[in-house]
């Protein structure tokens, strides 16, 4: 069954090529397709295109389908093109002509748009939860290990004293900043395209504000042509937000791989969380974080991949847009898995003690000596030359005492401020309102 089919039967090869992976990927969209139909049916009744008893019967069947879809048990049958066709077929099989009325005033174009936006909105909520867990784990580790010094590097050269408190806390604050990009994607997808039909509206007196309210959207996409233009823009906004998250998590993974090496030896993990070598019995490999690093690199390429699909398309719908799901849906699952496994690994991290006591790190403390001279009244440039001369002549002896007190330094991490910032950014999404609206929509 195809919603557009009239009398001719499409060639099997054409069908296979054009349907592509839709039957598999549309399972992710299924709950949202049903929710969109619930809102649309309620709106059709309000403008006189459905009788109240027809709406009642449609709602009853759609709620059943929603319950199946939530459990991933709403299957797209062989020969059915997509989730939209499957839902309409099942309604028609059960309700007859009433099921055929559900498509009035909409197109598959705005159906897939509203499905995609609601799906991405839901995935943003899932990502937000996973980011929150990783953030709080990093904050906990930052406080737990705040007094343990570690070397800081510039140009991969020993530079200045750092601490595990600073290091863990840096990635926590980076995640907090990444929420700004996730929020930007949320703002794009949290606008309702339903009622734009094929991109040019409808002669029916559709109440687009009503469906926006029912589905928990902040507003409609007002211009129907622009509503269609958000196909691709929504996906790219999501990909961009994930690319920033992936940059944070991937950089952290690289640090961990580096710091686990014997030449650094700053941290390690229990044996059961690492892998070995088939030939070298001493190996303890950070395979998890190597794979996280690789996946995060792929995720950072995703916005460009989507751009190459959508960049030369004029306004209006084009079948090219179907391919966006094939890139984006698996990428979202990869992002979630990277966040989940990173948080799990960090719960089991083992931080080494007294790292900076080794003579390798004597020069970490040259700036400390320069600053002490400056505090004693020596001009900075003269103090710098005095310590530099000692280093060149081999007379420099480190004083490993570190006394940093300004905000964001070893002795004053600023973690409480970062936690407050993070909580505010999480609260700004307002998912509670959306959940309440959707729950009302599926209530018997």
Is pLDDT above 50 for 276?
yes
* Rounded-to-integer distance, Cα 123 and Cα 128, Å: 8
The DSSP element (H or E) to which 154 belongs, if any, is: strand 149-154
What is the phi-psi region of residue 317: left when phi exceeds 0, alpha when psi lies from -120 to 50, beta otherwise? beta
Smallest CA-to-CA distance from 296 within 171, 435, 118 is with: 171
Which has the minimum average pLDDT: 81-85, 92-96, 166-170, 311-315?
A: 81-85
The confidence score (pLDDT) of residue 2 equals 52
Whole-number percent of the chain with pLDDT over 90: 86
Q: Which of 161, 122, 107 is nearest to 317 (CA)?
A: 107
Residue 8: predicted pLDDT: 67
Q: What is the pLDDT of residue 279?
A: 80
Q: Is 277 a residue whose pLDDT tops 70?
A: no
Mean per-residue pLDDT, 403-414 = 95
Distances (CA, A) of 80 to 5, 97, 215: 11, 19, 26
305 close to 243: Cβ distance less than 8 angstroms: no
**Which residues fall within 8 angstroms of residue 326, CB to CB, at 6 or more apart?**
20, 21, 25
- Around 35, how many Cα atoms within 13 Å sit in the side-chain half-sphere? 32
Listing DSSP states for 172-201 in one string gives: HHHHHHHHHHHHHHHHHHTEE-TT-TTTT-
pLDDT, one tens digit per residue, over 258-275 is 999 999 999 999 999 988
| Position 4 confidence tier, pLDDT thresholds 50, 70, 90 | very low
Rounded distance between C-alpha atoms, residue 202 and residue 104, angstroms: 9
The Cα–Cα gap between 74 and 90 comes to: 10
Buried b (16+ CB within 10 A) or exposed e, 224-239: beebbbbbbebbbbbb
Q: pLDDT tens-digit profile of 10-51?
A: 676 776 676 666 677 888 999 999 999 999 999 999 999 999
Give the three-class secondary structure for 160.
strand
Q: What is this structure's pTM?
A: 0.93
Give the pLDDT mean for 423-435: 96
For residues 272-296, average pLDDT: 87
Asked if pLDDT for residue 428 goes beyond 70, the answer is yes
* Distance between CA atoms of residues 216 and 421, nearest Å: 26
* CB-based contacts of 157, cutoff 8 Å, min separation 6: none
pLDDT per position as a tens digit, 116-162: 999 999 999 999 999 999 999 999 999 999 999 999 999 999 999 99
Across residues 211-221, what is the average pLDDT?
Answer: 98
SS3 call for 62: helix
Domains for the chain: give ranges and CATH numbers.
12-103 (1.10.275.10), 108-147+161-192+222-357+415-442 (1.20.200.10), 358-413 (no CATH)
SS3 category, 21? coil
Average confidence (pLDDT) over 78-101: 91
Distance, in Å, from the CA atom of 280 to the CA atom of 282, rounded to the nearest integer, reads 6
> Quick count: other Cβ atoms within 10 Å of Cβ 315?
10
Q: Is 247 exposed, middle or buried (0-12, 13-18, 19+ CB in 10 A)?
A: middle
Q: Looking up tokens 């879809």, which residue turns up?
A: 69
Q: How many CA atoms lie within 13 A of 217 on its CB side?
A: 28
- Note the pLDDT of residue 189: 98
Q: What is the mean pLDDT of residues 417-437?
A: 97
Q: Convert the pLDDT of each residue in 313-336 to its tens digit.
A: 999 999 899 999 999 999 999 999
Distance CA 202, CA 220 (A): 15
């Amino acid at each position: 069954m195809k919603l557009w089919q009239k009398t001719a039967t499409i060639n099997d090869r054409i069908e296979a090529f054009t349907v592509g992976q839709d039957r598999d990927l549309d399972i992710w969209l299924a709950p949202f397709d049903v929710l969109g139909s619930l809102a649309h049916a309620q709106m059709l009744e309000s403008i006189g295109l459905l009788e109240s008893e027809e709406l009642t019967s449609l709602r009853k069947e759609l709620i059943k389908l929603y319950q199946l879809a939530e459990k991933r048990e709403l299957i797209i049958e062989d020969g059915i093109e997509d989730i939209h066709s499957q839902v309409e077929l099942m309604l028609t099989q059960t309700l007859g002509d009433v099921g055929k009325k559900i498509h009035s005033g909409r197109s598959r174009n705005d159906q897939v748009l509203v499905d995609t936006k609601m799906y991405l909105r839901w995935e943003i909520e899932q990502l937000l939860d996973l980011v929150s867990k990783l953030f709080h784990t990093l904050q906990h580790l930052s406080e737990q290990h705040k007094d343990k010094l570690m070397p800081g590097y510039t140009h991969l050269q020993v530079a200045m004293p750092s601490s595990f408190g600073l290091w863990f806390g840096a990635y926590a604050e980076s995640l907090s900043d990444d929420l700004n990009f996730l929020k930007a994607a949320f703002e794009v997808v949290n606008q309702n395209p339903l009622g734009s039909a094929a991109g040019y509206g409808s002669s029916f007196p559709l109440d687009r504000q009503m469906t926006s309210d029912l589905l928990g959207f902040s507003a409609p996409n007002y211009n129907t042509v622009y509503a269609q233009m958000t196909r691709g823009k929504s996906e790219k906004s999501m990909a961009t937000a994930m690319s920033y998250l992936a940059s944070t998590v991937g950089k952290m993974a690289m640090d961990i791989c580096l710091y686990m090496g014997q030449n650094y030896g700053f941290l390690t993990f229990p044996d059961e969380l690492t892998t070995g070598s088939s030939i070298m019995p001493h190996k303890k490999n950070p395979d998890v974080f190597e794979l996280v690093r690789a996946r995060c690199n792929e995720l950072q390429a995703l916005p460009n991949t989507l751009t190459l699909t959508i960049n030369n398309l004029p306004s209006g719908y084009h079948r090219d847009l179907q391919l966006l799901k094939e890139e984006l849906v698996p990428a979202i699952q990869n992002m979630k898995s990277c966040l989940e496994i990173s948080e799990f690994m960090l719960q089991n991290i083992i931080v080494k003690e007294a790292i900076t006591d080794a003579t390798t790190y004597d020069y970490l403390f040259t700036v400390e000596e320069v600053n002490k001279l400056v505090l004693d009244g020596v001009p900075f440039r003269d103090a710098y030359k005095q310590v530099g001369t000692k280093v060149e002549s081999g007379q420099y002896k480190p004083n490993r005492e570190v006394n940093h007190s300004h905000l964001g330094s070893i002795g004053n991490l600023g973690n409480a401020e970062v936690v407050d910032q993070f909580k505010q950014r999480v609260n700004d999404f307002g998912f509670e309102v959306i959940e309440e609206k959707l729950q009302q929509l599926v209530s018997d």
